[in-house]
Chain A
Amino acid sequence: MNRFAIPLLAFVVVVAFLGVGLTLKPRELPSPLLGKPAPAFELPGLPPAREAFSSAQMRGDVWLLNVWASWCAACRTEHPLLNRLARAGTLRIVGLNYKDDAADADAWLQRFGNPYTHIAFDRHGRVGIEYGVYGVPETYLIDRHGIIRFKHIGPLTPDIMQHRLLPLVETLNGDSA
C-alpha cells in the first residue's frame, strides 16, 4: 500500500470536518423547546395603556411570539416584515417587549409601526428566561395546542418568511383542532 494513503485519508477527513464547520453558525443553538409546550405566562401590557396578556388566551390559535426591544438594532431590520405580515392578516403576532423602557418602546412603535395584537411587557426578562431567549430578536411559532413549532434567532428575513415560516403556518392552520 502506498505509504501516503493513510496521512492523505486523515487529511481529507480533517478538511471535510473543517469544511462543514465553516458552514455552521455556532451562535444559533438548537432550541430544546421545539416540539414542546410553550411556557405559559401572564404579563402586564406595555404601559401606559395596553391590556395585560396571558398566553392562555391564544389557545386554539396559531400565533407568533416575537421577542423585541427598542434597544435592539436587528429588531428594526425585521420590523417591516412583521408589519407586512400583520397587514396580510395571516396570523396574530404577539410582541414580548424584552428588558425595555416602556416610554422608549412606545416611541419606537409610533415611529416604526405596530404589528402586534398584544404586547407583553417583560421588564426584567423573566419570561425571556422561560423561553430560553439569549439574543433579541427571537421569534417563536406556536400552534393551536400551544406547542412551539418553529424558532428563529436573529432578524427574520424574506427568505425565512417565504420558505419556512409561511408554509408551516399554512400546514398548521389546515390541521384542525
Chain B
Amino acid sequence: MTRPALMAPVMLALLVTAAPGPAAAQVEAVNFENARQEDLYRDLIDELRCLVCANQSLSDSNADLAADLRARVYEMVAGGQSREAIIDYMVKRYGEYVLYRPRLSPATAFLWFAPFAVALAGFALIFTMAKRRSRQPPCTAAQSQQARALLEDERHW
C-alpha cells in the first residue's frame, strides 16, 4: 500500500473523533468550595443521561428533569459525596440507562463484547477469503494469452 493510502483511514479516524459534540445547553452557574468538586460535577453531568431527551447528557439538555437532576447532583457533590455514591444513587432510581457507559454485569456483557466479537468474525472472514484466493493456481500461458485476446477484442468495439 502506498503512503497516502495508509494515511487515509488515519485521517478519517482523526476527523471523526475530533468532530465537535452537540453544543452544551445552558447550564446553571454553580459554585463549589474547591476545584475537585467542580470537576466531579462536570464529569457527572456529562456521564449521566437525560432520561426524557433523545440521547443527551444532563449537561446537554434543557429539559426540566435534566435541570432537576443537575441540581440533585450539585447538592450531592457539594455535600461531599463520592462519584461512586452519586452514580449508585442515580442507577438505583433510574436504572443502568442513566449511564452512558453501563457497568459491566451479566445483563450488559453482550453490549460490551458484541462489537469485539463482530470485528473478530470480520477479520476471520477476510483472512479465510484471502487464504482461499491465494491458493488458486496462477493461470497458464495459454490462459493469459486468451485473456489478452479478449481484452484486445473489447478495445475494438
Contact = CB atoms under 8 A, between A and B. Distances in A.
A129 B69 contact: yes
Contact of B93 (A30, A125, A129, A135): A129
B91 interface: yes
A125 B94 contact: no
Contacts of B93: 32-33, 129-132
Nearest to A39: B93
Given A32-B95, A132-B93, A125 B52 contact: no
Task: Determine the interface band of chain B, counting residues with CB < 8 A from chain A.
Answer: 10 to 19
Contact of B68 (A124, A132, A135): A124
Q: By DSSP majority rule, is chain B's interface helix, strand, loop, or mixed?
A: helix
Nearest to A32: B95
| A interface, size bucket | 10 to 19
A125 B95 CA distance: 18
Contacts of B97: 29
B92 interface: yes
B72 A135 contact: no
A134 B95 contact: no
A30 B69 contact: no
B40 interface: no
A76 interface: no
A32 B51 CA distance: 14
B52, B91, B94: most-surrounded residue (chain A CB, <10 A): B94
Interface string B92-110: 1111010000000000000
Given A29-B51, A129-B69, A129-B72, A134 B64 contact: no
A32 B91 CA distance: 8
B94 A132 contact: yes
A152 interface: no
Interface in A95-146: 99, 124-125, 128-132, 134-135
B65 interface: yes
Contacts of B94: 29, 32, 132, 134
A31 interface: yes
Given A125-B64, A129-B72, A134-B94, 16 more contacts: A29-B51, A29-B95, A29-B97, A30-B95, A32-B91, A32-B92, A32-B93, A32-B94, A32-B95, A33-B92, A99-B64, A124-B68, A129-B68, A131-B93, A134-B51, A135-B52
Interface of A: 29-33, 99, 124-125, 128-132, 134-135
15 contacts: A29-B51, A29-B97, A30-B95, A32-B91, A32-B92, A32-B94, A33-B92, A99-B64, A125-B65, A125-B68, A128-B68, A129-B93, A130-B93, A131-B93, A134-B52
